[in-house]
Chains A and B, each alone.
Chain A
């Protein structure tokens, strides 16, 4: 069975701090996709990144970076120099390789960045 676990329910930081959101997944598939989505208070889920299981290279996009480690089944997300606008609920998700839109979501981590 597929499962995504985000053990951190809530995180609170002060602006400019770095913060890492943890994601651990379970799957029997050898090929799969991993995702991160952001859900601001408006409610719309915003796509941040997709990673396929073949590619373990870490990725950086501005203040965001992702660390994919197949050996520990983890796909962690780090925000550097956090800003108040980063406050949102962040979801990690998993899909089978041939079912790219059928996502299994974690429970989400609510990030609060205080000025």
Chain B
């Protein structure tokens, strides 16, 4: 079946602009996660959803970052007033259950802030 889909695959934006990154999880997966991966580093947790609600947003770096999952499926990560330091690959993952299933990752969105 289809895997986790992330769009766009690449996004270039100017400093100060607003961006939205989309994640389409595997059908039926109730848990959804966002991670951020900087060059040469491992992914860092941002936020996770169980259904429609954000169950843990402790990894969001500041209030410029926000994510939603209004119908419990597709999620959007929103970044306001982008800064050059936001440049990274943003990874989305989904799983069947919150605790016991391995994560299935998408290919990521590479965000470049100029």
Contacts and interface: CB of A to CB of B under 8 A. Distances in A.
Interface of A: 4, 35, 37, 42-47, 50, 91, 93, 97-108
Contact of A108 (B35, B42, B93, B108): B42
Contacts of A106: 42
Contacts of A99: 56, 99
Interface stretch (B43-51, B63-71, B80-88): B43-51
Interface of B: 3, 31, 33, 35, 40-45, 48, 56, 89, 91, 93, 95, 98-108
Nearest to A100: B99
Given A47-B103, A47-B104, A101 B93 contact: yes
Nearest to A49: B102
A13 B83 CA distance: 39
8 contacts: A44-B106, A45-B43, A47-B103, A100-B95, A101-B103, A103-B103, A108-B40, A108-B42
